[in-house]
Amino acid sequence: MMTKLFSIGDRITGFCNGYFGREDYDSKICIMVNDKYAVFQYTDGEWVGYGTILNYKEGLENLVNDWKI
């Protein structure tokens, strides 16, 4: 689940396989995580300070390591 993939303070960047939208390349930091979802706060770009949620989906385990800084 998400707690195995992310920890509070993890930073991600880049396209993230489109999970945050097809035009989202901005950096984010994980500010909350539970088994079902993780909450990220934008650290750059037009949405600095705003948050976004990533819900757990099967297959994420194979992707997230490429997203992390």
Confidence of residue 9 (pLDDT cuts 50, 70, 90): very high
Q: DSSP state, 35?
A: S
Give the CATH number of the domain where residue 55 resides: 2.30.30
Percent of the chain with pLDDT over 70: 100
Instruction: Determine the pLDDT at residue 17.
Output: 96
| Parent domain of 11 | 2-63
Residue 68: inside a domain: no
Residue 8: inside a domain: yes
C-alpha closest to that of 53 among 68, 69, 34: 34
Q: Where do we find the tokens 């997230």? A: 64
Q: Answer whether residue 69 shows pLDDT above 90.
A: no
Residue 42: inside a domain: yes
Residue 12: inside a domain: yes
DSSP bridge pairs for 12: 28, 68
| DSSP SS3 for 11 | strand
Domain count, the chain: 1
Stated pTM of the model: 0.94
Residue 69: inside a domain: no
Residue 41: inside a domain: yes
Residue 37: inside a domain: yes
